[in-house]
Structure formats: structure tokens, C-alpha cells
Amino acid sequence: MLIREPAVAGMFYPADAAVLRRDIKKLLGNGEISAEEPPKAMIVPHAGYIYSGAVAAKAYRCLRPIHDRIRRVVMLGPAHRVWLDGLALPAADAFSTPLGDVPIDAEVRDQIRDMDGVSVSEDAHYQEHCLEVQLPFLQVVLDDFELVPMVVGNCSAEVVAAVIDQVWDGPETLVIISSDLSHYHSYVAAEQIDARTSHRICDKATDLLGEEACGAAAINGLMACAHCRDLSVEEVDLRNSGDTSGDARRVVGYGAYVLH
């Protein structure tokens, strides 16, 4: 079995399993569910937990009522480490974190690996953090599930949408888009930029740019897919690293959204 080992444990989140589980439970808290209804899809940030963990947790908390229903998680996020045309599935059979291994849904991977724009690339996933940082949250919140992880590079909304529609399935499948918002503006400028971007996300824009959201290609594809037409988009949190880390000089924006 080929295991994709964690690349950013000890950097983006704790490498010790007990500490990691404790920190995630603290981020999730015991408060009421934020969303109006349990989500079918979510958009969550992917920075280190000290920066974006509290924002991501607002969305993951919404999964508690359906923790035993979800059996498959489809994840898409931007390629940070390699140049990529299209979408890349992993060659691995499982993704590992300090909390254990998450198996890849090989049947679904085989169904979509020959679709237009889709390839299998170990390199695209090897050092990529945007999907990895979501897994410990899922491992704490959900029961047993399988994973369909895809890194998205240079790709049209239509190509991404076709893939998402193919794997949409029923309530046992959750779709997660991993994306931060604006990068390295002043606090005031970031607030203005991210507020506009958040409004566009809630309006299901399909033409977001990379400077608005690093996962723009994946977000655009989600909003363009046929199954998304009847869903509502709800913003559950919108902040930046100036709010979470305290350094307001050059900040990164983070938003959490649920689609239901």
C-alpha cells in the first residue's frame, strides 16, 4: 500500500496526535451549530492552524449533526508546489496524518481519472498542504470515511465542474474546497478586498481570480457545477491573519462557507 505521508505536521499543525486532537477540539468548541442546515459542500481556509484554524473550525462544526452520514469526502485545492494543468489525483492508496490513515476511494478515483483535464500525479500531492491540513479536522468530526483528493492547477471552471458533478452523489458525499482569500495586503485593504470576494462567493461567481482567492479555480468549478444550482451559500466566518495572529501589517484573508 502506498501511503502519502504528512508533509506539514509539526509546521502547520501539531505532529503529536494527542496535542493535535486536543487543539482541534478546542477550535471546534462546544457552541451551537453555525449554519442554517448541515452542508453538502464547504469552502474552508488552509493556513497554519494558529492563523486560519479558528475560521475553518466554524465550518467543520456544522458537520456534527451528520458525522455518521458522510462516508466520502471529495476535496479540491490549489497547487502550491508544482505547475499543473488540470486536476491531479494522487497515486497513493491513503493519506496519513498523526491521527491515522484515511483511505482513498479507489473506485471513484478510477471513475474520474480518465476525464478531461484529470491526471494522476504523486508530485502534485507530495508536499501540498492545502488538502492535508483539512484531514485532522475531518478525522475528529466524522466517523469512518474515504477520500477523493484533487489538486487543481490551471483549469477552467467547466472542467472542474464536470468532475465535481461526476462525484457529487448523495448525502453520504461531502465536497470541500480548500482556499484562502487575499494575500499580503494591509489589514484595511484586505478587509475591503475580502468583503467583496465573500459577497461574490455567496452570489456563486464563477470568475474569481487568483488574487481574490488562491483556490479560485476550484471555487469557480464548484459554483459552475449543475448540482450547485439549487444550493444556498452561507458565509459562517470571514477574518484575516491580523485578527487571528495579531500581526496586521501584511495579512492573509480567510473565509468559511457552507453550501446547503
The DSSP string of 144-172 is S-EEEEEEE-B--HHHHHHHHHHH--STT
Query: According to the model, what pLDDT value does residue 34 have?
Result: 64
pLDDT classification of 194: cutoffs 50, 70, 90: very high
pLDDT classification of 93: cutoffs 50, 70, 90: very high
Residue 80 grid coordinates: 502550491
Q: What are 114-136's pLDDT values in tens digits?
A: 999 999 999 999 999 999 999 99
Say which amino acid occupies 141: V
**CA–CA distance, 111 with 184 (Å, rounded to integer):** 39
Query: According to the model, what pLDDT value does residue 14 have?
Result: 98
Closest CA to 219 of 27, 43, 63, 94: 43
Q: How many structural domains is the chain composed of?
A: 1
Residue 183 grid coordinates: 494575500
Query: According to the model, what pLDDT value does residue 31 have?
Result: 66
| Residue pair 95/135 in contact by the 8 Å Cβ criterion | yes
Supply φ then ψ for residue 22, to 5 degrees.
-60, -45
Q: Average pLDDT of 82-88?
A: 95
Note down the domain range covering 40.
Answer: 3-259
Query: According to the model, what pLDDT value does residue 35 have?
Result: 65
**CA–CA distance, 77 with 221 (Å, rounded to integer):** 11
Query: According to the model, what pLDDT value does residue 245 have?
Result: 87
Within its chain, how far is the Cα of 68 from the centroid?
Answer: 20
CATH number at residue 90: 3.40.830.10
Q: What are 8-62's pLDDT values in tens digits?
A: 999 999 999 999 999 999 999 986 666 667 899 999 999 999 999 999 999 999 9
**CA–CA distance, 202 with 232 (Å, rounded to integer):** 8
Closest CA to 202 of 239, 236, 233, 157: 233
pLDDT classification of 252: cutoffs 50, 70, 90: very high
Site of grid cell 485593504 = 189
Percent of the chain with pLDDT over 90: 94
pLDDT classification of 247: cutoffs 50, 70, 90: confident
State pTM to two decimals: 0.96
